[in-house]
Amino acid sequence: MVSFASLSGRLLALSRTEHSVKQLGVRVLVVEDFTEWSHLLCSMLQSRQEFRVVGLISNGLQATYRAEELKPDLILLDIGLPGLNGIAVARKITQVAARSKMLFISENQDPEVVREALCSGAHGYIFKSHVASELFPAIEAVLGNGTFVSDDSMRKTLLG
């Protein structure tokens, strides 16, 4: 289980991260059950040449298998997925694709759910209402071995 002291340390590391995703050729797996959201995320990612969407999954059960098969650099996933919820998916992915970084993108703003998501092995959590402004900063933080959480008030709630 991830301690909140380590999460705090990862958030501090975020401010020191000078990691440029432009040099990485980042392979991304999108796990989202709502077609409109999955298309939006893919479109945003494909608007930048440094990202390549390698898979689009709408089911939690399939997500684990595809992550193991594809070993993507980054996995964007929702909490509420059919078959297996996103938190359970994240726990399984840490076992089968340990090098993949995970970033949750969800409507759920319950601090306990956010905390559980981060403790499941994810490196970030952004609210769908903040995707336009936070997706790329969150990705850069996560790929730079930091942690990103939407909203200053949520960070304060989680980390004190």
- How far is Cα 66 from Cα 21, in angstroms, rounded to an integer? 23
- Enter the CATH code of domain 4-159: 3.40.50.2300
Q: What is the predicted pLDDT for the residue at 151?
A: 76
**Angle 113-156-3 (CA atoms, 0-180°, nearest 5)?**
60
32 φψ region: left (φ > 0), alpha (ψ -120 to 50), beta (else): beta
List the chain domain ranges. Answer: 4-159
pTM listed for this prediction: 0.83
pLDDT digits (tens, 9 = 90+) for 55-97: 999 999 999 999 999 999 999 999 999 999 999 999 999 999 9
